[in-house]
Amino acid sequence: MRSRPNDPPHPLGRRTCRVRHRPFCVPSFWLTLLDLAGISALIGLGLVLLTGVAGLTSFGQAAFSGIAAYTSAYLTLFSGFSPLAALPFCLLAVALAALLLGAVTLRLSGHYLPISTIAWAAAIFFLFAQLQVLGGQTGLAGIPPVSIGGFKFISASNCFILIWACVLTAIVTQQFLLGSRTGRAIHTLRGGALLAESFGIPVFRTRLTAFVYAALLAGLAGWLYVEFIRFLNPTPFDITAGIKDLFVVMIGGAAYPWGAVAGAAILSALPDLLQAVTGGQNENYNLIAYGVIIVLLLQRSRIGLVGALAARFPAFQGPDVKVPPSAAALPARPVPRPGEVLLKAEAVEKWFGGLCAVRDMSFEVGAGEIVGLIGPNGAGKSTMFNLITGADRPGSGRITLCGADVTGAKPGAAIRLGVSRSFQHVKLLRGLSVLENVMIGAHLRGRRGVVSGLFRRDRAEESSMAAEAERHLRRAGLGNVMHRPAGSLALGPQRLVEVTRALCADPVLLLLDEPAAGLRHAEKQELAQLLHNLRDEGMPVLLVEHDMDFVMNLVDRLVVMDAGAKLTEGVPDAVQADQRVLDVYLGGVA
């Protein structure tokens, strides 16, 4: 499994490269190191997207490299392919393996993926080592080099160009991808599945995209490795290698493409540095050092080297999305006809074990009206809200949104019908700018996918999305903070951003979950102003709220819940005068 002292010598033989005895090998030694660092950076770039951005992880990237390397070696040695012609097949094999593994793990909660990748990487390693047709433990030698138009990439310096051209291309395209619709969707995975699904981002498919992307970069790295070393045995693809690949991005900074490069440079140089310190060449010292470094690093901070630089010098953060002076408008939904029923709950009931949280709830929200769902703490408002938005399933009853039955449907169903929501506990992506957070709301109004994102074929649509997000932000009075990271705002403005993000989805009905909870007086007034503006524009809203004063001047109609059931329903003045409402709110008069 792990490298034993009696393993075959390092394929590069770089341990035997002694500077003092053979001065001429110095440059080649450093170039070789740089080549290997580039290959490691390429794997790291995949992990930046998977771990740093999507919040998933894999210890099996070396196994993907191994699949590509063995495919290439097999095709070039035994089937007469040129290395360049073999590359598409290598990537295809890797993509298929990643799709298979992803299909069985990515529907499960996040920690199943890393454990499965450990098991899977170990299995693949044993397979390489046992299959005699792939050379077994002894390996395969004499793999032909890459040649383009007669130019052979044979030395460390030639390969340096090939490898680092791939690394730079990967960095540039990754930065393009991160600033695209798919990139934002992958970012959104970090905010939890409910957030993503609520804006129509399919969690499973987006995870699969990130996983396959990372696997393909690892595959490219594996192909480069075998074409550079031109000898192949299973050791470079063992589980320790897969673990080191992850350590690369942890040390360099998992959230930044340059973090992969920095981490790869550090970890590639570390064995030689340690050798200089300890005087020995023991792999076990390296392992102990890797382990201790990672433990200390993750105990203190989880942002890595480039992350620390970015925190100190904001220039490292990179520019935010630019808002164009003019852009084509995004497609918009027709405004609902007056009198159309947008939300209809019929005899909805929900039990948690023996506790009945919602019983026999029926009410409607029609076009152009603002309805407040109020009640004291524990009345079942939030449960009702979860049932409407699909975050939870009702035990019985029926919920209809815009004429479609959504009883027990997934959270994605509501947004596809044009019903968008905010969250009681703010769910913003703290590292992204306010503008990008709001653009997530418009996810379903765009079409461009991962390939357009990688190669910047999405600029027209992106401009429209940015312009739309900016329009909503300016209207909410957030125009001056839209390029700040969302995490840097106070709670009040964050709530406004939540509402703005929901508006950016071009909803026909807006569902707001306790938007005023925890806000200070001035912040409540700002929020009330935004909601007043919405009412004037005729945007239908269902507002779940605890604070009665806040909703009184705002809503057309109130539905009052108590102990899971509807207490009364009516215009604010009538509800305010209702003795039963006063009783439940004030605890009753003895």
- Interface residues with another protein (CB under 8 A) are 1-2, 4-6, 51, 55, 57, 59, 100, 104-105, 107-112, 114-116, 118-120, 122-123, 126-127, 130, 189-195, 197, 203-204, 239-240, 243, 246-247, 250, 282-288, 290-295, 298-299, 302, 391, 410-411, 427, 429-431
Q: Which residue has the tokens 């305010």?
A: 576
Q: Tell the smallest beta-carbon distance from residue 4 to another protein (Å).
A: 6
* Residue 518, number of CB atoms within 10 A of its CB: 13
Which residue, 122 or 172, is less far from another protein as judged by CB? Answer: 122
Kindly tell me which of 11 and 192 has the beta carbon lying closer to another protein: 192
Query: Which residue has tokens 């992803």?
Result: 102
- CB-CB contact of 208 with 186 (8 Å): no
Count of C-beta atoms within a 10 Å radius of residue 271: 19
CA dihedral 172, 177, 179, 185 (to 10 degrees): -160
Q: Least separation, in Å, of the C-beta of 95 and another protein?
A: 17
Query: Which residue, 29 or 256, has its beta carbon nearer to another protein?
Result: 256
Q: Which is nearer to another protein, 293 or 335 (CB)?
A: 293
* Alpha-carbon span 518 to 501, nearest angstrom: 19
- Nearer to another protein by Cβ, of 302 and 333: the residue is 302
Taking the alpha carbons of 217, 222, 223, 225 in that order, is the dihedral positive or negative? positive
Whether 95 and 67 have beta carbons less than 8 Å apart is answered as no
Give min distance, CB of 302 to another protein, in A: 6
In the complex, the smallest distance separating the C-beta of residue 114 from another protein, rounded to whole angstroms, is 6
Judging by DSSP bridges, how do beta strands 147-148 and 355-366 pair with one another?
unpaired
* Residue 191 vs 540, nearer CB to another protein: 191
Least distance in Å: CB of 101 to another protein?
Answer: 8
Report the nearest approach of another protein to the CB of residue 339 (Å). 33
**Closest Cα to residue 214, out of 58, 47, 67?**
47
DSSP string, 109-124: -TTHHHHHHHHHHHHH
From the CB of 315, what's the least distance to another protein, in Å? 23
Q: Which is nearer to another protein, 10 or 302 (CB)?
A: 302
Nearer to another protein by Cβ, of 283 and 360: the residue is: 283
* Upper half-sphere CA count for residue 165 (Cβ side, 13 Å): 8
3-state SS track over 128-191: HHHCHHHCCCCCEECCCCCEECCEECCCHHHHHHHHHHHHHHHHHHHHHHHCCHHHHHHHHHHH
Distance of closest approach, residue 132 Cβ to another protein, in angstroms: 9
